[in-house]
């Protein structure tokens, strides 16, 4: 479904990705774990068309989408929920949700997706007229995920969805990710919470200094000595 082949990305002269290759198949939850600055967010930015790779290709259902404009990538069925949520604080919850569908033709007629998002996050339904900036951290994270879902993606890319949330909320966000996946949406999950990410996913990749250093089934990665020592604190 999604394939990155030997992706290189730099910020100026500083390399951030050095030959990243990975795949996400239909129906999978794939975790990308790594330390601060390892290149996780940059990988998602390259897929979304925000960072142009210097080398390598990105394929979506066999089509080369490397260097496609971000709104066109959304139109292909890939939505990105960025790190730090990046909601529009002075717009209402409903206005924020509608922004998520802006790149999709005739999205205003798509009542089903809005109903699905509001059923997944009843808290957003209750607060739909409230300014997004006044929501709690957990609610803002739900709004950011809901906004990405408004584009009716086939693949949802989540960047650190658990960041800054209380443990109970972290659990419920990961439960929601499973619910979203059950609906047939594949997920590429970037996380520093390696344990929860590997518990939730089918496969995983470890990225270190811009390179994939380990990959495999999540149940196996969770027992890997290096993963345990470097990311699980065991
Ligand atoms: P974190 O969890 O801290 O966000 P990450 O794994 O997502 O880490 P990236 O944000 O992808 O890491 O960063 C990869 C490398 O690129 C780091 O060395 C970082 O300092 C650098 N980098 C990221 N964004 C920029 C930028 N806008 N300008 C310059 N360098 C950047």
Tens-binned pLDDT, residue by residue, of the chain (234 aa): 999 999 999 999 999 999 999 999 999 999 999 999 999 999 999 999 999 999 999 999 999 999 999 999 999 999 999 988 789 999 999 999 999 888 777 766 678 899 999 999 999 999 999 999 999 989 999 999 999 999 999 999 999 999 888 888 899 999 999 999 999 999 999 998 999 999 999 999 999 999 999 999 999 999 999 999 999 987
- Does residue 161 have its Cβ closer than 6 Å to ligand 1? no
Element (H, E) at 48: helix 40-48
Q: What is the structure's pLDDT at 110?
A: 72
Strand runs labelled E in the chain = 2-11, 14-24, 29-33, 55-60, 63-64, 78-81, 155-159, 186-191, 203-208, 211-217
Q: What CA–CA distances, in Å, run from 30 to 104, 154, 191, 197, 204?
A: 25, 14, 11, 9, 5
Q: What is the structure's pLDDT at 93?
A: 96
Strands 203-208 and 29-33: parallel
Q: Quote the CA–CA distance of 177 and 29 in Å, as a whole number.
A: 9
Q: What is the structure's pLDDT at 191?
A: 92
Q: Quote the CA–CA distance of 99 and 70 in Å, as a whole number.
A: 14
Ligand 1 centroid–CA 10 distance in Å is: 10
* Shortest-distance Cα residue to atom 31 of ligand 1: 11
CA 189-79-82 angle, 5° bins = 60
Q: What is the structure's pLDDT at 145?
A: 95
* Shortest-distance Cα residue to atom 19 of ligand 1: 37
Tokens 């290189």 belong to 8
Tokens 């999950």 belong to 189
Q: What is the structure's pLDDT at 107?
A: 66
- Grouping H, G, I as helix, E, B as strand and the rest as coil, residue 92 is strand
Q: How many residues are there in the chain?
A: 234
Q: What is the pTM of this model?
A: 0.94
Q: Which atom of ligand 1 is nearest to the CA of 159?
A: 7
Q: Which atom of ligand 1 is nearest to the CA of 192?
A: 2
Q: What is the structure's pLDDT at 165?
A: 87
Tokens 């969805």 belong to 161
- Does residue 225 have its Cβ closer than 6 Å to ligand 1? no
Strands 55-60 and 63-64: antiparallel
Q: What is the structure's pLDDT at 109?
A: 65
Which of 178, 100, 166 lies closest to 139 in space, CA to CA?
166
Q: Which atom of ligand 1 is nearest to the CA of 43?
A: 11
């Amino acid at each position: 479904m999604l394939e990155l082949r030997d992706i290189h990305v730099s910020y100026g002269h500083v390399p951030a990705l050095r030959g990243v290759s990975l795949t996400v198949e239909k129906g999978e939850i794939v975790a990308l774990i790594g330390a601060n600055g390892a290149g996780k967010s940059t990988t998602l930015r390259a897929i979304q068309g925000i960072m142009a790779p210097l080398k390598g290709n990105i394929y979506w259902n066999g089509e080369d989408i490397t260097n496609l404009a971000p709104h066109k990538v959304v139109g292909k069925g890939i939505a990105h929920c960025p790190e730090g949520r990046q909601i529009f604080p002075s717009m209402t919850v409903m206005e924020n949700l509608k922004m998520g569908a802006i790149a999709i033709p005739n999205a205003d007629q798509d009542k089903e997706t809005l109903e699905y998002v509001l059923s997944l996050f009843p808290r957003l339904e209750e607060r739909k007229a409230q300014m997004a900036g006044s929501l709690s951290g957990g609610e803002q994270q739900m709004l950011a995920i809901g906004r990405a879902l408004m584009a009716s993606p086939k693949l949802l890319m989540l960047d650190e969805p658990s960041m800054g949330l209380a443990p109970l909320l972290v659990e419920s966000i990961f439960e929601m990710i499973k619910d979203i996946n059950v609906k047939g949406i594949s997920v590429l999950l970037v996380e520093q919470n390696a344990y929860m990410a590997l518990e939730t996913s089918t496969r995983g990749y470890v990225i270190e200094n811009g390179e994939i250093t380990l990959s495999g089934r999540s149940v196996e990665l969770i027992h890997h000595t290096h993963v345990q020592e470097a990311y699980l604190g065991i």
